[in-house]
Structure 1
Amino acid sequence: MKSFSSLFCCLVLALSAAGCWVPELPDSTVFSCDTAKDCAAEGVVCAPRPGQQRGYCCSPTAEVCNGADENCNGQPDDLAEASCYTGPEGTLDLGNCKAGKAACGANGTVVCAGEVLPAAAESCNGEDDDCDGEADEGFNLQTDMANCGRCGRFCNAVTELCVDGACKSRGEKVCDDDADDDGDGSKDCADSDCDNQTRACNAGDAAKNCICIGRAIGEGNCGDNLDNDADGFTDCVEQECDNKSCGTGCVCSSYVKKETACGDGVDNDGDTRTDCADSDCANLSCGTGCLCQGGKAVETVCFDGVNNDKTEGTDCADSDCHGKECSAAGGCTCTTSGSKLETTCNDTLDNDGNGAIDCVAGNADANCVNGTCGAGCSFVNCVKVETACTDLGDNDGDTRSDCADTDCNGKSCGTNCICSGGVKKENSCTDRADNDGDALIDCADRVDCPAGVACTRNNGNPGTCQNNGSCN
């Protein structure tokens, strides 16, 4: 229960010499305040209220997406900044792709705001839109009428041609009128002026499904299942169709149709295999957090609460996620049993979302009780223990390093060196080396290599340590 402020009590005292009684109020009562001192409770702050001069007493907790201001800064749902990315593996920071920041979305969800994912198709703009390490692939700047010499430079289709990256005037004005318009002895597609220009295949071809290529009529529509140029070959079988679209999610490649849209549930290339079941889709994205691998859709993002590959289950419940990160912030791994495992036990974060944090007293995560507390440090029943005894570091934070730390007693301090009684001890008297770093080698180190133990003579033969520190 909470009581009225001292200000109210003082007002009562001013009116009555007999003193005052301060009534108890429910803990949920909201108190107005100007500073934290007005709240008169440890850890409670005076949080601002938008549009009001006075704040209210508030006990800060971690912010969650619920429309409330848990961290008492006057702003609801302002999550602590955390980097996130939901695109396919290997595309982050490649090309235009970049990470975003965790933010609150609709209905209490957490979204990755500001991230840039791979574009479905590359644009000619000097940038790597699909984040595959190449910019403007698929565009021939030497002959592309819409990108002649550089992206966005258009050649006039009627009066110009794109030749060697430059717009050049054409003589032949019309390429399907069966006339030598410029009188140079060549007409229509036989005239180089018509190279790469579309034309009607016949009198009824208003869509102009043919193209002039190689001084002849070629296929201009590579996805209609028709032999438009009447040469006996159809669509992708035509050389001129190579690398051209054969329909939605389909491209001609090496004289065959190739699936390029791998998450739309459609057999785009007509080979009876759809999406990831088509070998064309190997290692291609099948959607956000999904990658085609081994002939099936594989979950690659295991912490977004979405069944990205539409198989098995969501996140850790999907076997694809076993061994993968189960937290956008890291420090959590999906186990083979489908559960979350806290792997970073020294960051004061509840990485696996089970409500327990590291080895915090009274709220320790079971996975951290005997987990890792950092480089060269392990928890043993939530007590930090030095495990690296050769790195000169105080890994467990007890102000003692390596052999000076009792945790290292009996542990290796290097080659043929063992920690004993808080110091380094020579563990071999036959290797002709100063293993414990005391500038004494083998028998000369009389404490660690006393008389009578085996040693190696200067000539390489076996010997015995003598009282004078020699080996004979």
Structure 2
Amino acid sequence: GDCKPLVPTKESGKELCQDGLDNDCDGKTDLGDPECKDICNPGKFEPCFGNEDKTLQGIGICKQGLRYCREDATWGACEGQQLPQQEVCDGQDNDCNGKVDELDECKCWPPTSKETCYSGDSATKGKGVCVAGQRICLSNGQWSACEGEITPQKEDCNGKDDDCNGQVDELGECQCWPPLTKETCYTGDSATKGKGECRAGERTCQLDGTWGSCEGQQLPQAKDICNGKDDDCNGSIDDNSQCECWPPYKQEPCYTGPKGTQSKGICRAGVRSCQLDGTWTTCEGEIHPQAKETCNGKDDNCDGKVDELDECKCWPPQQTQPCYTGPKGTQSQGPCASGTQSCQANGTWGACIGQQLPQAEECNLKDDDCDGQIDNTSGGSLNSLTRSCYSGQSGCTLQNGKYTCLGACKAGTQQCFNGNWSACQGESVTQAEECNGKDDDCDGVIDEDADLINAPSCLNQRGDCKGATTPARLCQNGRWLPCDDNAYKAHFSAYSTKDESCDQKDNNCNGQIDEYAVNCVAILAGSRIGAVDEKGTAAQFGRPEKLAKDTAGRVYIIDASNKQLRRMDQCGNVETISGNTNPNTNDGLIMDVYYNDLKDVVLEKTDDYLLLDGAKFRRFVSPDNISTLQEANYTSMSGLLYNQTLGFYARQAQTGRIFNIQASDGKQIKEIHIAPKPSSFSPDAWTSDTTHFYIADNQSAKIYKVTSSGVLTTFAGSGTKGYLDGAYAQARFSDMKAMAFDSKGQLYIIDGHRIRRLSNGQVTTVSGSTEGFAMGSLSAAKFSSPSGILVDADDNVLIADTGNVRLRRLNITSPTVQPVACVLTLAGSLRGSQSGLRNGPQQQALFRRPRNVTLDKNGHLYVTDTANAQVRKLDISRGLVTTFAGSRFGIRDGDVSIALFRAPIDGVFDSKGNYFLVDIEGHAVRKIDTKGNVTTFSKGTTKQTFAFPTGITIDQDDNLYVIDNNHHKIIHITPSGIATTFAGSGGRGMINGPKLSAQFATPEHITFGPDGSLYISETGNHSIRKIDPSGKVTTFAGTGNPGYKDGPAQSAQFNHPRGLAFDHKGNLFVADAFNHRIRKIDSSGNVTTFAGTGNTTAKDGPIYANQQNIQFHRPSGLLFDKQGQLYLVEEFTNKLRKITFE
């Protein structure tokens, strides 16, 4: 153990059991020694279960708890454990023996549960009146009494089975039931019942269950009498010989005419009547045959023939017969049927009434036109019937079966299927009026101001301009013009294109306050504590401290509490360029590095930088790495300094020592020996000119001037602490933190909450007083513990206002040069051209040969990561890059998680949120719907499949336009997937004219312009071609030969132009790939270079008018968002970059 250097001591107590030593020399250290069994590591926790049998854990209610090691290294009580309890009747295993409610008194559980019950003989349950009842489980686990049951009773004469034996009223005294039941009865000879006058009667069941007397029966009489009845019920009526007939007045037919004529024609029998004495009268009313036939619809001569005269067609009047007047072959087809015609008074047939003739075919599963087919057009097959339709309330009117429509409204078509009309397809109903050159509400007026909706937000939504919308007056020629000054002033009355008034407002809404106002303290970036990369006051810092600047004038900020190196460009865009929150990362990619205690940063003339991180010197190594030079040989290093003449230096505040870092690897450090050195020398802040150091020492309250060899003299300060201005020798200083020279040799220094200046022998306070936060003039402004300072190219002073988490600027003079835009890398390789496949925070994400970018309706960016065979998504609000679809090289449809692509190169969203992409090596258009399903949408036209499609765009009706690069064509694809050639004959060339006879040469990218024309970039012809709405193809810009030349569009030259994008003013921006520039074609047709020097090293920074300093390497895809920011993809540097406009 540790007995050699130590005296053996018993392991006991927190200190000895946690000192890492084997104090009692038994070979066991600290908690591994049984002597330390009651000692633990504070903060540690472990499971516990009292002193009970551990096997009971997890049985019944029993469960283990946790005990935590306290600060005194002893275990605390066991928390959250559940130990065995006495078993109670509650539906749980309280004693954890694996049995629930095993007590005898537990008859049921849970309370309120129910079951059926029956206390009678089980054989009687459910018979007769007997039924089961129900009992309820009580809270004590016992059953309640059985309620609602009916058990067997004594049998009663009541029509019920009272004793539940399966027999009803089996008692002998019961003749009938229920009371008042009736039945027929007859007490005479059964042979006479129902004969003659004899009839049965009816008897009724009495209340005592016996039958009453037979009421209403008719029994036989003793003798038949002459009355026309069978009185004795023997089956014979009036069987008395004196009776010829009966009853008196009885009548019967009689006829005395020629034989064979009775009942023919008009001949009719007469009637004779029975007299009171039972004899017949003479035959009266009979009709005999007439001598001559007449045309009256009658057989007058009773020979069996009616109106056998030629002039008689029918008779009698109103006589009917079937009739049908429809086309031959239609009768009895479908609903068609014959009618009826009636005979007229003159003996001729009338019109055919009630016939069903063929009708116009309707969608009703009927053969309305009686042609033998259902729901068909004339000559068509089943379900071929269609009709025009319109579901809108206005916009179209129906006349004579046709719709007449106004504006954008149009009728659609319905298809009949199985007797029902389909939904109306292809109709356009009234919409709210929008600014699009159409009569959307179909009232005959286009883009009328009063009805316009969806006015877009003004491009500038920063500061007080947030919420500004485009006024209706700016809807012109079917599109919204950009907001003018009056539009912004209508929303924000203090709006001005320049922020020069020192009114503590962001007048120009660029995210910065008073940035151009002279003698004013401006806010350039920051607003509250956070870690947000944004522009101006939308950005957030944790604790901004030291500042530095590069050769382009961009400001580097040590954000100490966020452990990050941040950077702000001249437009106010703040970005994180290095620093990770994972403490397990050390050196490596600049976004992967973890900083422990960032203190300072300095940049050399190559824009490489050196960082002081705690006791480490860490250096940026091109292109993307941070490396640790070495651990500093001396602790408490407090600051860095770089001078182009003198080199790199580090200072040690506590010891007053200064070191020269002499080699790029940091391994040669030489101390500069100060002489004469003050007794309490503490370099708290410093700067340099070309030959000297200037060191602020708060202990002596002086500023010293030191030569490169270490010779020290007093530069300013009386040696007494305070804030007294005046001559250098009399001035007083108190809490100096940072200092910097301007171009005139004036020295600015942060002293407490003040910014002071040393110039011409005098010390003055330029701005600040007591601690606080106040904007406005130099004299009115207040700061809170500022700790970083630098002077820009205009001799204005930038301050890291640490306590107020803002970056501010003392505007001593007006800026001489202002950028028109700034370029920054949004995602991908931040420096250099590193490629890969990595998701995560946008600054750490990596791509491999990305080609194009598009936006969804939520403002998220989608990048076709071509060589990774994926589509990547950048969530702007979260700053997070993820894989949207794809995983590896291949071709497979399905869910986005399993779908495969070969080389996605361009994509676009339709109005419904579906994403369409062209797969250049898959030779197809793929579709990703809103549910994440990937399908192959189109492989080309019926005559020709795609060959290396490279570009895609979409119109307002969701029609796709696809570049077929190898066939030199543009393909049109409808929303239903029907593909046809839109432009291009298929031959390679540069022929203008009608679109189908025009020729292209390896077209690359395609987009719509504000005039509704299609614009195509051609890498083969090095030109921009245009297809106007009439279908005419012209050369919009370029000569057909590669080169680099600005000027009129027809003489300008490009070299492999690729991405195209229009800004809100109608200017066309072109990614001129092989010229490594972004070109701009204005509305008058003049071509200029917007950005790019032609150098292939990608370089961010400001863009100045008529001054090129930004660099690109083969820019590819371009895209403007709704805020007017331009996004561009660089294929060979694997970057997604953004250009923000001032």
- Normalising by structure 2, we get a TM-score of 0.16
Decide which structure has greater helix share.
Answer: 1
- Normalising by structure 1, we get a TM-score of 0.31
